[in-house]
């Protein structure tokens, strides 16, 4: 999502190819409106977040989405498929994400490689993990020092999710945790877990005082 936000950081559609890792500013040798810099926005959205892959000779459209945990759903319109177009609707239901092809062209088959996916006609139902986290995204002021919370790694088991995080020493960060399964009774080690509202918990994590960025591990269990 941070990559997509770059679309509005300067002139519309001006996505710089190189950014400083220390400050929010393009490097002096970067060039805007390059194919590869635009691709770092388009490809993660199309192939990563919505997980679309085409196979026109076999009339199949594969969907393996990874929607942000704080999204209840989404619709993408006019997805090209051969000489036709199709709309795809993504909707969260209890413990699953449902993808439906709206007014599909004749012969189109939806498929998915996501674990546990079930396909019935033009509808794909994908099981969701028991919990997911949503890290907020907001571009800093131009030239500001990097201060974003960073997820370095995550490890999941049947009843836990462990995150390796990096943040500025002495800073407190907030993000969201979604419960996809009912009556989980989630506990947090290394963070403060707020009350649940619409299956979303507010999570607060404080980093110890230290120069620059420091690391902390948070484990959610249920």
Query: What's the average model confidence in pLDDT over 23-33?
Result: 65
Q: Residues 37-73: pLDDT tens digits?
A: 677 778 889 999 999 999 988 999 999 999 999 999 9
Q: Is the pLDDT of residue 12 over 70?
A: no
Q: Is the pLDDT of residue 30 over 60?
A: no
133-221 maps to CATH 2.60.40: yes
What kind of fold does domain 52-128 have according to CATH? Maltose phosphorylase, domain 3 (2.60.420)
Residue 28: CB partners within 8 Å, gap ≥ 6? none
Whether the Cβ atoms of residue 50 and residue 42 lie closer than 8 Å to each other: no
Specify the pLDDT at position 90.
98
Q: What is the dihedral of CA 124, 133, 139, 198, to 10 degrees?
A: 80
What is the residue extent of each domain of the chain?
1-49, 52-128, 133-221
pLDDT-based confidence at residue 144 (cuts at 50, 70, 90): confident
Specify the pLDDT at position 163.
98
Whether the Cβ atoms of residue 173 and residue 149 lie closer than 8 Å to each other: yes
Q: Residues 96-116: pLDDT tens digits?
A: 999 999 999 998 999 999 999
Helix (H, G, I), strand (E, B) or coil at 49: helix
Q: Report d(CA 199, CA 180) in Å as an integer.
A: 7
Whether the Cβ atoms of residue 218 and residue 188 lie closer than 8 Å to each other: yes
Closest CA to 74 of 86, 87, 61, 64: 87
Q: Is the pLDDT of residue 193 over 70?
A: yes
């Amino acid at each position: 999502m941070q990559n997509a936000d770059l679309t509005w950081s300067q002139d519309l559609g001006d996505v710089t190819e190189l950014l400083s890792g220390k400050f929010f500013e393009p490097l002096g040798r970067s060039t805007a409106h390059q194919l590869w810099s635009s691709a770092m926005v388009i490809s993660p959205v199309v192939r990563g977040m919505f997980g679309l892959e085409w196979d026109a000779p076999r009339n199949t459209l594969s969907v393996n989405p990874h929607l942000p945990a704080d999204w209840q759903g989404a619709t993408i319109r006019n997805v090209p498929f051969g000489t036709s177009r199709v709309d795809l609707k993504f909707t969260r239901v209890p413990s699953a994400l449902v993808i439906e092809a709206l007014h599909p062209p004749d012969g189109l088959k939806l498929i998915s490689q996501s674990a546990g996916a079930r396909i019935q006609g033009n509808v794909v139902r994908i099981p969701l993990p028991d919990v997911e986290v949503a890290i907020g995204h907001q571009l800093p002021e131009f030239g500001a020092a990097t201060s974003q919370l960073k997820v370095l790694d995550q490890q999941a088991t049947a009843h836990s999710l462990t995150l390796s995080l990096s943040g500025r020493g002495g800073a407190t960060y907030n993000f969201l945790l979604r419960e996809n399964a009912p009556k989980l009774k989630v506990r947090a080690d290394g963070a403060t877990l707020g009350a649940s509202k619409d299956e979303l918990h507010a999570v607060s994590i404080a980093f110890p005082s230290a120069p620059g960025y420091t690391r902390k591990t948070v484990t959610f269990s249920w």
